[in-house]
Structure 1
Amino acid sequence: MQVLTLFVVLLCYRSAAASLIIVPEPVQQSTAVSQDAAEAAVKPYMHYFHVESDIKYRYAKTLATTRIENPANVAQEVSFTAVLPDTAYISGFNMEVDGKVYVAYVKEKEAAQKEYDDAVEHGQTAGQVVQTARDSNRFTVSVNVESNKEVIFNLTYEELLTRRLELYSDVINLNPGQVVSDFSVTVNIEESSNIRSLRVPALKVDEETSVEGTTNALASIEMTSPNTAVVKFTPTPTEQQNVSANGIIGQFIVEYDVDRTSDGGEVLVNDGYFVHFFSPENLKPLKKHVTFVLDLSGSMMGRPIEQLREAMLTILDDLNSGDFFSIVLFSQTAQVWDPTITDDEMDQRLALVGSYTYDQEGFPLPAATPSVIVKVTDKHIQKAKTFINKLQATASTDIYDGLLLGLNIANLNPKKLQNQPNGKQPEPIIIFLTDGLPNVHIYDPDTIVSDITKANTKDASIYSLALGYSADYDFLKKLSLKNSGFSRRIYEAADTALQLTDFYKEISSPLLADVEFEYTPDQVEDGTLTTRVFRRLFAGSELVVAGKLREEIDINLTGDVTAISINGTITYTFEAIIIQYPPIDIPPPATHTPSNMERLWAYLTIQQLLDEDSALDYDHNNKNLTSPQKQQALNLALDYSFVTSLTSLVVVKPNETNAVDPHDASQADSYGDGGINAGTGGSGYPSSADSDDRYDDGAEGPGAAEDGGDGPGEAGDGGDGPGEGGDGEGPGDGGDGSDEGGDGEEASVCLKELDDIAWLPQNHSLVLEQDTLEAAGLSEIDQQFSECLTPSGDNGYCRHLEYCVLNTFTDKLEDFIPYKCDAGGYLGVCCPVTAIPDC
């Protein structure tokens, strides 16, 4: 009998993890496979690795497919791993095992967890959640595949591409774990207006290295029309090996922008839903007053404080002329930089930041005076740099006082801020960076959020940066959501300073403030509009609103957008573009299939509802308390099969027992392990899951041969073939443990070592008909390149010489020539499928 057993892991980062749980039916207890047979196994081989991303109007739907075969004479685990952008939702997964398809379904997390707990209680295999890459989710599913069988994995995920610094980016993480003969990535782009700035930078193989300004020479771009394009990436095996010995690894990135045909934005109507993209051009930035609130606690000591200083020096240079800035520091207490006092006085203030003898009642917070609001001039920037270079890490983390002092400054209304061209004061922005938890003065996160929000009388946007993993990201996220901002993780790495400066670039130029979208009454269904009021629009970004129309007909949705620009209040009008769905020449489906526009609306609604829930003031530890926002998000996730923080992906694998066919043991197809991967954590890029020769309790190895059954496995009464013999271990007849193969139709071929070849020079190099075998260690990938027939007519695959040294040609070169084949540019051998090492 052969039992297929499964387990699944979905790793998610940032907030509450989404999960995938796989629950198998109970399996019967069986005899374990012999150790010798397990050691004889070769790694699974990936036949193909395909990724196709369809982008329609900024909404990307990506399908990753791979087919993997287990060529070993024992069952082994095959793993499929995908690292997804943290903004993506899994919307579909299935796997085909030995011709049978198993489809996952989305279920409420608590209900799925119950199935998981029940499975664990009954000793069955189930899922688990752990942590990994930068701003990403890792999805892993593993299946125990019997000898000479294959599995096909299909994973679909969806996301709305965000415009940052004038570009949309579709990031696809790749790491199949081996060189693949059929490797392809295709990105199809369709927009309603002309595509511009389409480019594919070099493969990002290191998350700490920028690829800005580079080009991927292996990618092709075809503009099929002004508003459609196809990008392809199909590296050959040799080109894959040039990236790494284990093939392609890294992020494949497609970047583009679109023409802005109307300042009122693009409004697309499709199948009763609409989306409004708004990003007017040719606007001058608003003036801003940015207050930096910086953590100088002891945990910032060393490289973190160095990188903070480095980043601040760059950011100070990037401040716009005419803007204003302030610098607040906190550790044991908080202080503020004031360029009007002497250097000695400022040094004394700096010393007080980390003073453990500081008495909170005797030394209240420094006064927020107009002198600490500094206009951007060359003189002031230079003086600020001198101050920044003096910063040192010390003492505790008084987040409360740091934020309160920053807000006191942001709330000031001095004349220098009032004398603006449009009579409007500069936009108040707070950039708050911390690497730890509040541990002095007031350190309860809920109290800090409540008090700071109440103190924010000027509606300053607070952008929270969590440096490293010690910071309380949920606390910072809530703080920013309640104060018109957002949070971002900054990773402690060689590129920390670059992460900080790149973040500042995103918010450095506010173009519009208090942006409000209005649509004609009675055209939009009540309660379906996503967020329509935004505190700011920054240069290079985009605001997106979606909703459902009252009637599913082609109506001309109308309305306007009002905002405050540098010249005062401005109003934009817009016209809707009707997108026929389905196309006129295609009959509508018998059952309703949500269009891309409808799924975009659901995706955006879920994201915003979860953000609203995160900002609520209630006890999140109370599992019996569910907000209306959370319930609505859950319902939508279930309706549209999105895996979110509220839902899980569940696969129920029925119990299945398969008899082992000894003939299949010789039909190995490839050598290597599998997995599709993406992104960044300990490492932002998915590392492929290794396929170990492991067997779960109760899962039999490849065929326990019982009562005369032939084949690999544990030989029982008369069971022939490689396995554990009755009186001894090793290949042989179950009766006496001899090394003869019993009834097996094809005898195993034993492999030798490279050094056993008498005609091969000691440097393992040979020039033969333009084929060059370099040092054996240089061709590290054990894989199959093409099917072939050996000189004796047996089925085989071309493999590197070092992995298939046959006794028949070790003595004479002329005996080798009939076996010669091309193994990716190296000397190869037509290797019989019955070949096994160390026999």
Structure 2
Amino acid sequence: MMVSCCGLITSQKEPVPLKSVEVELEVKDHVATVVSTLNYHNQEDKPLEAVFVFPLPGDAAVCHFSATVGQTEIVAEVKEKQRAREEYDDALSSGQQAFLLEESEQSPDVFSLSVGSLPPGESASIRLEYVTELAVQADEGLRFLLPAVLNPRYQPQGSVGSEGSNVQVTSVPASLVPYTLSFSARVSSPRPVSKVESSSPLDPLQYLNTEQTQATVKLAAGHKFDRDVELLIYYKDAHQPSAVVEAGQASSQPGSLMGDSVVMLSLYPEFPQAVMSSVASSGEFVFLLDRSGSMHGERIKNARDTLLLLLKSLPLGCYFNIYSFGSSFEHIFPKSEDYNQKTMEEALKKVEEMEANLGGTEILEPLKHIYRQPSIPSQPRQLFVFTDGEVGNTKEVINLVKQNSASHRCFSFGIGEGASSALINGLAKEGGGHAQFITGADRMQPKVMQSLRFALQPAMVDVSVKWDLPSGVSVTALSPPIAALFQGQRSLVYAQFTGQSSEASEGCVTVAYSLAGHPSQTQLHFSLKPAEDSGLTVHRLAARTVIRSLEMEVREPGGQEDAGGKKKVVELSVQSGVSSVFTAFIAVNKSNSEAIQGPLLRRTIPTPMMMACMAPMAFCSMRMPVMSCDMAQLPQMSPMIGLAFGQTSCSMDMMDQSDTLESCRPKQPPRDPLLQLVSLQKASGCWLLDPHLAAVLGKTSEEVEKPKPASVKQDVWATILALIWLHGFKMDAQEEWELLAMKAVSWLRAQKASLVTECVEAGNALLGCNVQKDAVGL
């Protein structure tokens, strides 16, 4: 059966009380403050409880939550989670209005908001504020993401929190989301803002001053909830290190994190060209590919093409293996193999056959298997993880990467709208690698090849941060030590300054490190005088950093909780007013003169989902859950992806059945000529002169062989032709083929080929190009 939805109703034909969401973003340099206002109105004749489950950025620190009902504003307090839930239930059972905001116990980027006892005809406005660091993309843009899409999170079988009642979350295709979104942003920085881009249509950027260091931008009207809202902000001279000191809160105890000054040090190194051009010729490269049902269609095709480019770009002398996972996992070789023509061909043959047909998203077991493999001497392990990030046990996965961070680096790729930022960023952060998000019409290949470049280039290692402060001022580090920093990666370091200095108002910080075997250091002098008007953004981000580190230590392997660590998290969360997994925001309207009469109806607010495929699917029954919302069960919620017209809640196992999705699989389009050319390259870096190469170059075999200078070997001639074609016709995709072209040039040099100039001239004439010999690197 199909349910047709229109207007503000759920699949149960009930009105939805959420009418609109307004978001205001303030970006200051590398950090953002976000204020969301959710406007509710009860049009029914009975009192309501409205429950809305929604995503936030994974590293956000929620720091304010309040509700305005009529003329009354009620500001929420942070309390231990169980106590907050009890207060909420008590308030509802005594007929009072109450509001509860809590973080999922499995994934820090999923929150639940309960609006309790909204009387008939009454409106309520909820204000939610959070601060977040902005991640740096490989092209130097700062990325802000407003998650709008909450995809189902697959709950692994038998994992913690998978027992008990199944809390359902309602989800609808974007076109049926019954509330509007308005979004505006203000950007300011010491450096000029060069541009702001977005995946969604924007009104033009407005500069607020002649230096162009302040600007505003708005989302164009009529945003469809079919995608997350992504903003990319670019500054001039982004690589300068900076330190911002923020004054403590006057009402807090001196000596406490909120009472003392806190500094945020931003490190975003730019490496010398000599280092950037050197590429390692060793390493163990392990690729881990998500083949769960939600990766079907374009996603899995893109992933196969990307693996082709990666395999062709690896250096001779390295080791590699490819794992893929769903409900179970597979590997191409029992252990990582030496990279050569035979192993490369064997791997590519298996990659070609890969489909999104392995069921659910069980990422933990393949990771454990990879980490159990002994490391290969003098071949540093580099792990590349490709996933749409729809897992329920995010924290467990990140913890495992952290435990193994000394033995490898982890590069992560979030594929598609709604990929969990907590998972993708967490993998890279704890694995000392780099995170990339691939959404909308983005090509996966350039981003992945940028990350491979990072993996092949030297990183800053043995990083130490030393503070030199006037007498009377002591320092406490709040951030975990930096394992490694590489080109294109930015690190924010937080520290607390205790005490007062009578005379000197300047501090100095020295960052020492080793780069490509050479010890080096950077020094920065900064003012200890706190920045004007910075609120408590830096304090809250610092508190969030400490809370996240403590949370990871609390959950010991085997699921036992450390009570002392949990108490520390609760204390810091309450003191700083920043959410944690063990606390919640609770607000009760005690000014109600009379208790609300009548039974409370529960209304679940639908969340936008991706319309991944138009195949009709079976509907499950939708049961309205009982009053109390158990967030520990959140990852089991399963807003179903891929329903064309109706809305439902179904188990994710059903989504991840390849036979259901078979009907959605598009017919294979002809292969891109660039990928065809790449697929013909040998592991050594050369090409062979054969009819397949001629076809890609748009020539017959005879046309290609005829202009070859007589004494030149066929594979040398073929390789020069391939390089000319890449430089002549595919410069717009240079990031994708640059590494394999460098390998081809190295191979040519090793051949000590003669008549290279004549070959390049003859090749240009044949292909109608004008590529210079030195441009090719010969």
For normalisation by structure 2, the TM-score amounts to: 0.54
Distance 2:445 2:474 in 1: 41
What's 1:520 paired with?
467
AA at the equivalent of 1:546: Y
Measured after TM superposition, the shift of residue 519 of structure 1 is 1.6
On the 8 A contact 2:468/2:508 being kept in 1, the answer is: no
Instruction: Select which of 185, 188, 211 maps to 1:190.
Output: 188
On the 8 A contact 1:67/1:152 being kept in 2, the answer is: yes
What's 2:384 paired with?
431
> Are 2:37 and 1:65 equivalent residues in the alignment?
yes
What's 1:30 paired with?
none
Measured after TM superposition, the shift of residue 645 of structure 1 is 0.8
Seen in structure 2, the aligned counterparts of structure 1 residues 219 and 144 have a Cα distance that, compared at 3 Å, is: farther
On the 8 A contact 1:328/1:402 being kept in 2, the answer is: no
AA at the equivalent of 1:187: A
Distance 1:161 1:477 in 2: 11
Seen in structure 2, the aligned counterparts of structure 1 residues 121 and 465 have a Cα distance that, compared at 3 Å, is: farther
1:9-24 equivalent positions in 2, closer than 5 A: none
Distance 1:599 1:316 in 2: 43
RMSD: 5.8
Deviations 1:364-388 (A, max 9, x none): x66x6xxx3337xx99867753453
3-state DSSP class of the match of 2:245?
strand
What's 1:278 paired with?
267
AA at the equivalent of 2:318: F
> Are 2:151 and 1:154 equivalent residues in the alignment?
no
> Are 2:540 and 1:566 equivalent residues in the alignment?
no
Seen in structure 2, the aligned counterparts of structure 1 residues 199 and 381 have a Cα distance that, compared at 3 Å, is: farther
On the 8 A contact 1:84/1:137 being kept in 2, the answer is: yes
More helix by share: 2
AA at the equivalent of 2:513: A
What's 1:738 paired with?
none
1:594-633 equivalent positions in 2, closer than 5 A: 595-614=536-555, 616-617=556-557, 619-622=558-561, 625-628=562-565, 630-633=566-569
AA at the equivalent of 1:654: K
Measured after TM superposition, the shift of residue 680 of structure 1 is 6.7
1:254-403 equivalent positions in 2, closer than 5 A: 254-260=231-237, 265-271=241-247, 272-283=261-272, 284-285=275-276, 287=280, 289-294=283-288, 308-316=303-311, 319=313, 324-329=318-323, 372-374=337-339, 384-386=347-349, 388-389=351-352
Instruction: Select which of 28, 50, 71 maps to 1:99.
Output: 71
Distance 1:155 1:395 in 2: 36
Measured after TM superposition, the shift of residue 528 of structure 1 is 3.0
Deviations 1:15-57 (A, max 9, x none): xxxxxxxxxxxxxxxxxxxxxxxx99998796x8642222223
> Are 2:350 and 1:411 equivalent residues in the alignment?
no
Instruction: Select which of 621, 637, 643 maps to 2:579.
Output: 643
Measured after TM superposition, the shift of residue 266 of structure 1 is 1.4
3-state DSSP class of the match of 2:205?
strand
What's 2:136 paired with?
163
- 5+ residue gaps, structure 2, are 1-11, 149-173, 248-260, 390-394, 597-602, 613-623, 628-778
Seen in structure 2, the aligned counterparts of structure 1 residues 107 and 488 have a Cα distance that, compared at 3 Å, is: farther
3-state DSSP class of the match of 1:604?
helix
Seen in structure 2, the aligned counterparts of structure 1 residues 295 and 230 have a Cα distance that, compared at 3 Å, is: closer
AA at the equivalent of 1:531: S
On the 8 A contact 1:94/1:103 being kept in 2, the answer is: yes
Measured after TM superposition, the shift of residue 546 of structure 1 is 0.9
Distance 1:152 1:398 in 2: 39
AA at the equivalent of 1:276: L
On the 8 A contact 1:562/1:569 being kept in 2, the answer is: yes
3-state DSSP class of the match of 1:606?
helix
On the 8 A contact 1:184/1:232 being kept in 2, the answer is: no
AA at the equivalent of 2:559: H
3-state DSSP class of the match of 1:531?
coil
Instruction: Select which of 469, 484, 501 maps to 1:536.
Output: 484
Measured after TM superposition, the shift of residue 408 of structure 1 is 5.1
Measured after TM superposition, the shift of residue 170 of structure 1 is 2.1
What's 2:636 paired with?
none
Distance 1:309 1:569 in 2: 40
Distance 1:675 1:395 in 2: 28
Seen in structure 2, the aligned counterparts of structure 1 residues 652 and 123 have a Cα distance that, compared at 3 Å, is: closer
Seen in structure 2, the aligned counterparts of structure 1 residues 632 and 328 have a Cα distance that, compared at 3 Å, is: same
Distance 2:608 2:507 in 1: 39
AA at the equivalent of 1:61: T
On the 8 A contact 1:132/1:680 being kept in 2, the answer is: no
Measured after TM superposition, the shift of residue 157 of structure 1 is 1.6
What's 1:140 paired with?
113
Distance 1:222 1:678 in 2: 34
Moved more, 115-124 or 54-63: 115-124
AA at the equivalent of 2:466: Y
Distance 1:472 1:218 in 2: 28
Moved more, 107-116 or 285-294: 285-294
AA at the equivalent of 1:316: L
3-state DSSP class of the match of 1:292?
strand
Seen in structure 2, the aligned counterparts of structure 1 residues 131 and 501 have a Cα distance that, compared at 3 Å, is: farther
Distance 1:150 1:575 in 2: 52
Distance 1:129 1:58 in 2: 26
Distance 1:116 1:540 in 2: 46
Seen in structure 2, the aligned counterparts of structure 1 residues 565 and 145 have a Cα distance that, compared at 3 Å, is: same
AA at the equivalent of 1:169: R
On the 8 A contact 1:519/1:560 being kept in 2, the answer is: yes
Measured after TM superposition, the shift of residue 650 of structure 1 is 0.9
Instruction: Select which of 525, 528, 553 maps to 1:575.
Output: 525
3-state DSSP class of the match of 1:224?
coil
Deviations 1:567-586 (A, max 9, x none): 63332222225564446xxx
AA at the equivalent of 1:201: S
Distance 1:278 1:57 in 2: 13
On the 8 A contact 1:83/1:678 being kept in 2, the answer is: no
Distance 1:152 1:399 in 2: 40
Number of residue pairs matched by the alignment: 535
AA at the equivalent of 1:200: E
AA at the equivalent of 1:229: Q
On the 8 A contact 1:75/1:144 being kept in 2, the answer is: no
Seen in structure 2, the aligned counterparts of structure 1 residues 681 and 547 have a Cα distance that, compared at 3 Å, is: farther
Deviations 1:278-335 (A, max 9, x none): 1111443463624225479999998797665344224335x46678341155899986
Seen in structure 2, the aligned counterparts of structure 1 residues 141 and 577 have a Cα distance that, compared at 3 Å, is: same
What's 1:509 paired with?
454
> Are 2:498 and 1:550 equivalent residues in the alignment?
yes
Measured after TM superposition, the shift of residue 641 of structure 1 is 1.0
Moved more, 560-569 or 265-274: 560-569
Measured after TM superposition, the shift of residue 189 of structure 1 is 1.9
Seen in structure 2, the aligned counterparts of structure 1 residues 517 and 276 have a Cα distance that, compared at 3 Å, is: farther
Deviations 1:183-235 (A, max 9, x none): 8533122223x1444213242xxxxxxxxxxxx35343325354632323265
- State, as a whole percentage, how many aligned pairs show the same letter: 14
Seen in structure 2, the aligned counterparts of structure 1 residues 336 and 99 have a Cα distance that, compared at 3 Å, is: closer
AA at the equivalent of 1:596: T
- 5+ residue gaps, structure 1, are 1-38, 204-215, 338-364, 418-426, 437-444, 584-592, 661-673, 684-693, 698-839
Measured after TM superposition, the shift of residue 599 of structure 1 is 2.5
